[in-house]
Chains A and B, each alone.
Chain A
Amino acid sequence: MEVYFYLRLLSKTGENKRMKNSSKFQWLSSVIFLYLVNQAHGQKRGVPHDLKCITHNLKVWDCSWEASSRINHGTTYEICIVNSSYPCIQTEKTHFEIPALSLAEHEIKISSMHVSGNSVTKFILNERSVSLVPATLQIFNLTADFSTSTLYIKWNDNGSVLPRHSNVTWEIVVLYKEDMEVATIATLNTTLIGKDSLHHWSWTSDIPLECTLHYVKIRYYIDELHFSGQKEWSEWSPLRNISGPPIKENYEVFPQDKVVPVGSNMTFCCVVEEPVLTAQFGSERCSLIRLDNKSVAIEINNITVSPSSGTNVVFTTKSNMYGTVVFAGYPPDIPRKLNCETRDLKEITCSWNPGRPTGLVGPRDTNYILYERFSGRNVTYNRDEEHMNENHQLIFQMIAGQEIYNFTLKASNPVGRSEAVILVDVTRKVYPHTPSKLIVSDIDPTAIILHWHLSGNFANITLLCEIEINTAYSGQELRNITVKGLETSSYRVSVDRLMPYTMYTFRIRCSSENFWKWSKWSNEKQYLTMEGVPSKGPDIWREWSADGKSVIIYWKPLSINEANGKILSYDISYWSEEGKQHLKIPDPQHRAKIQLDRNDCIISVVARNSAGSSPPSKITSMEIPNGENLKVEQIVGIGSGMLFHWNYDPNMTCDYVIKWCNSTRSEPCLIDWKKFPANSTGALIEYDNFRSGTRYNFFLYGCKNQKYQLLRSVVGYTEELAPSVAPNFTVEDTSADSILVKWEDIPVEDLRGFLRGYLFYFEKGEKGTSKIQGLESGRSDVKVKNITDITQKTLRIVDLQGKTGYHLLLQAYTDGGIGPGKAMYVVTKENSEGLIIAILIPVAVAVFVGVVTSILCYRKREWIKETFYPDIPNPENSKALQFHKSICEGSSTLKTLEMNPCTPNNVEVVETRSAAPKIEEDTEIKSPVADGPEEGSDAEPENHVVVSYCPPIIEEEIASAGGEEAGGSSQVIYIDIQSMYQPQAKPEEELEKDSVGGAGYKPQMHLPVTSTVENMIAADGLEKAAGYRPQTHVTAWNLDSPDSPRSIDSNSETVSFGSPCSVNSRQFLIPPKDDESPKSSNGGWSFTHFFQNKPND
């Protein structure tokens, strides 16, 4: 380092001398040599070396050198600046101070004088080799504001000893905690002003200053432009810490009751001796940060809005609990909708909307100040706790003569402030109070004066007021008026163009002429205007009495706006033979009778009220006779009224009058009248009392020279309805085929329209069963006649049936519909010829048919019998008894059937006549089976067959045979059907009685020989065993019948006759004729064959 210094010194020297001539190089070489020698000596003998100069203020250089301590003691130094007037300095120390030297290089000769010897050391010194190190500072003042955790530092810049205008850089370091961690480092720049000045700096800590110790130190650096030497930082000032935090007895948690903006980051600490166990922020547990041995902290980032009582921060130790409350809220919003207006030009009311809630209440709530810039006055918002939710407003007393106000509303709370500005011309922002004390006074029937009270001083402005005039008659009217503003608050204005004698309702509201807002409406005031003279005479008409001796004057009451007051009476005047006559009719009466006796005169009517009389209404008494006979026209109205048209007549100079009356009323005919101007050609008569279905008479008069002439007479309905009653009809005459009906007219009041015709219905039917209902359905059996000739009063109905009941119904109809009907029941008279014919013809036909049928039946009786009444199929007719047939077929041979189990009886049957042709004639069905026996019989003609029968049957058969034999010539022996079955009954009954054994006869079921079938049948029970059931076991028939080929093949006789004695079914007892018969041996036997044989039986 030292070597470097000297080398640099030399090099700098070299640089400075570069421009000198080379002759000086020798001098330089000698200097280097000298230096090296000195160096060698110094090192060797302890001579001064490492000369180092610094300056604190650029005025004095403080130089020091290194000397060997070994020889330092007792050494005296003499320092001389070569070639300088500055005296040499004698010192025993190793440093000296000299005034700052000029920029040039200076040779410093330091002579060391020691007992061991003297030495001289030379140094070359210039400003560049001098360092500027500012003197160490002392912090002038260090204070702390614990409520804001702010440190305030003050120091003196020693500007008086330092060059003026020098730039100074200050570096301040704040340390905290016991281990002195750096809390912050700050750098400041100032400029020296040539005299001492105090600087200050403040710093706000994140951590409350009470939480732990904070230290501060400072140093600085002078950037003097004119100093060519090295500039260095000053030494650090001695550490200063904050004088003991004012820890109060109960305040262990910091900060206390702090109000912070939402979103802040905060550190809370608890300074207690005992260890803190937990910390809680609101309801949230927090982790502890140890600051020092008795202080812990928690950090809360981005703090949210606190509830109204603040957010609690609680530290808990083993035995105690410490806490604080923090209030986080928003700075006040900019007041919105700031509006200033005056109601009376005495005070200005400014209102605003505070905007977003701050979340801070009570003492931390927003404070408002209304400041007026021109006058410099302000008003403070006085918070009314009871009306906190209402709109915020401040009242500013107006200043006389000032109309323009520049208001600034300043809002502030502990975490911020805001403001809103408004410039107001109060004369344009007048919102008057509600007018009160409304009073009305009369001027005349059409004008009044309105008085009201409006508090305020409006002397400088003109008021615009709106009067609402309301009548029940003409509705609502608004009138705007302007009145000069007054100080006295009492205003009056006249209101004209009113109607006399009318109840008005007045109310008023006001504003300024420079409209801003209407006041509220005043209360309503009702007032009746004065009466006025009736504005016109009453509408009059006159009617002559029937005898033509008097005329009745009618007039209509005046309308409210015409009467202009309460009509007291009507004055009627006319000229008669006795001169001018006067009548006075009190008000409710609107007619007067005048005796004129067909005289023509002018009648005048005036209405009178308390204010005077109306203009007279006049009418002449006589009519102009109508030239031609008037036809009565018929018209129908348009629902609400009647529409009339007439041709324009220039002769009609006054007006047209239509009067009308109810046609059913007695004379005089007058309900009402209506006048129309002379130039009109039509009129719509609308009258509230017009009723549908009522006939009215209308009369149209034209006025010619103040005289009326009847122009048209009309009958009409406003609307036609269906007749209300049925036409009354009677049956005048009844014959066998016609009825004559007669009916009467329906009265006009019941007709309810112009009659268009009748509908006559008639229908045949019994009395009391009238079916003429729902005629509209168009039933075909109801006949209808439409009678459109309304003058027709009778109707003959022809082509009716004699002695027949008819229902009759008659209805009348108008264009309004069909009226109710009257029903009647009539029976036509009897028609005797028809009756006779009606009896004789069916009798004759019946007799004829009976005769023909009898003949036919007689002729065809055989065929009929065979066809419709054939013989019941009978076992007797089967092969077993073929001997009958054999006889019939011409075989005279006696056949005998022998049955072994039975008592043999021999029956000899002799047939002399052949039955073959009859069979062929009766039926063509010839089954092969049926043929079989015939063939068989052919094969064995005249064979003797012995038929074995059980005794009862035989007895019957004999009896029958005897009967037939006796009755007829034929030799055929018929076995009667009844007789065949009669014997069967007995065994059945016996079977039932003897059913215990179960071994009774079961005809076909017992046919199988095999015991299996017998067992089966026995198991089937008695009900199955009883009686004859040929169809029951068809299979049995087919399989095991004795008729089956199998049974026949085996041994027909044995099988057949081995069976029990059959009484129910002899069919199977009949053995085949012989085994040789080819037909019988084939498989043609079946259940159906059995029946096919029947015809052949």
Chain B
Amino acid sequence: MDLRAGDSWGMLACLCTVLWHLPAVPALNRTGDPGPGPSIQKTYDLTRYLEHQLRSLAGTYLNYLGPPFNEPDFNPPRLSAEALPSATVDFNVWRSLNDHLRLAQNYQAYSHLLCYLRGLDRHAATAELRRSLAHFCTSLQGLLGSIAGVMAALGYPLPPQGAEPSWAPRPPHSDFLQKMDDFWLLKELQTWLWRSAKDFNRLKKKMQPSAAAVTLRLEAAASDL
């Protein structure tokens, strides 16, 4: 392959142009704002970690509640747990949600669940169980912060804080109904974590093509030159 002087100059110019544009490519600019990608990944990882942590906690806690709550086929009606945010949603409705709504629902749900979870602590009679719950609450608080971070990175406003219900002890509540609430709280937490993992996975995938597009654009620019 023989190169002519004209070709060499052309390639040099192309190279210089590429180098000139490199700092402007967000995907390559590691020193600046890394974008929402890492925080989404982090949130996704945290969700998976919490799923794992909850499996252990739920096992212990349901054993503490005693039979039939720890029986595998126990499926009580959702009696007094209406206040808990339900993660169950129609698939089409879920698909139709936009990122903002998706994140806002997650944020709101965990805000509520965290409040209820803190209430769970006062029923637990053993110190060991209380420690596990406190640890999980801290992790969940972390997830809430991560979601808020992702929302901020994507430029979405946080859901209004005033609407967040603060934990208030219910009027005389029987121990059995309390156990039912605890059961449903754990169950909803599980469902929500599962849904969040799916949400953040979807969001993660959605964010990736933008970086790929930058690369493609870069290649296109180079070939133009």
Interface residues in chain A, defined as those with a beta carbon under 8 Å from any beta carbon in chain B? 250-251, 253, 256-257, 280, 282-283, 307-314, 319-321, 323-325, 361-362, 385-386, 388
Contacts and interface: CB of A to CB of B under 8 A. Distances in A.
Contacts of B126: 308, 361
Interface in B65-88: 65-69, 71, 76-77, 79-80
A309 B67 contact: no
Interface of B: 64-69, 71, 76-77, 79-80, 123, 125-127, 174-177, 179-180
B179 A314 contact: no
B207 to A, nearest CB: 44
Nearest to B172: A248
Contacts of A309: 64-66, 123, 125, 175, 179
Given A257-B174, A320-B77, A325-B179, A386 B64 contact: no
A312 B176 contact: yes
Contact of A282 (B64, B67, B125, B175): B67
B125 A362 contact: yes
B127 A388 contact: yes
A961 to B, nearest CB: 123
Given A309-B125, A325-B175, A282 B80 contact: no
A325 B125 contact: no
8 contacts: A250-B79, A253-B176, A282-B67, A309-B66, A312-B179, A314-B68, A321-B79, A388-B127
A574 B109 CA distance: 107
Contacts of B174: 250-251, 256-257, 324-325
**Closest 8 pairs (CB-CB, A-B):** A283-B67, A325-B175, A323-B176, A361-B125, A308-B125, A321-B76, A257-B175, A362-B125
Given A386-B127, A388-B127, A325 B176 contact: yes
A138 to B, nearest CB: 35
A1064 to B, nearest CB: 108
B177 to A, nearest CB: 6
A310 B68 contact: no
B166 to A, nearest CB: 23
Contact of A310 (B66, B76, B77): B66
Nearest to A311: B66
B77 A319 contact: yes
A257 B177 CA distance: 11
Contacts of A253: 176
Residue among A256, A319, A361 with most chain B CB within 10 A: A256
A312 B64 CA distance: 11
Contacts of B127: 385-386, 388
Nearest to A361: B125
A796 B145 CA distance: 114
A944 B79 CA distance: 154
A250 B77 contact: no
B179 A308 contact: no
A320 B67 CA distance: 17
B101 to A, nearest CB: 34
A313 B76 CA distance: 13
A309 B176 CA distance: 10
Contacts of A256: 174-176
A899 B200 CA distance: 133
B81 to A, nearest CB: 12
A331 to B, nearest CB: 19
A280 B68 contact: yes
A324 to B, nearest CB: 5
A531 B176 CA distance: 82
Given A250-B80, A320-B77, A362-B125, A283 B175 contact: no
A321 B80 CA distance: 12
Given A325-B175, A362-B123, A388-B127, 17 more contacts: A250-B79, A256-B176, A280-B67, A280-B68, A282-B66, A283-B67, A283-B71, A309-B64, A310-B175, A311-B66, A312-B67, A320-B77, A323-B179, A324-B175, A325-B176, A361-B125, A361-B126
B181 to A, nearest CB: 11
B80 to A, nearest CB: 7
Contacts of B68: 280, 283, 312, 314
Contacts of A324: 174-176
A700 to B, nearest CB: 82
Contacts of B175: 256-257, 309-310, 324-325
B174 to A, nearest CB: 5
A257 B175 CA distance: 6
A458 B49 CA distance: 60
Contacts of A325: 174-176, 179
A313 B68 CA distance: 9
B209 to A, nearest CB: 48
Contacts of A314: 68, 176
A253 B179 CA distance: 15
Contacts of A362: 123, 125
A282 to B, nearest CB: 5
B109 to A, nearest CB: 25
A238 to B, nearest CB: 35
Contacts of A312: 65-69, 176, 179
A984 to B, nearest CB: 107
Contacts of B67: 280, 282-283, 312
B175 to A, nearest CB: 4
A311 B77 CA distance: 20
Contacts of A310: 66, 175
A283 B65 CA distance: 12
Nearest to A317: B77
B83 to A, nearest CB: 14
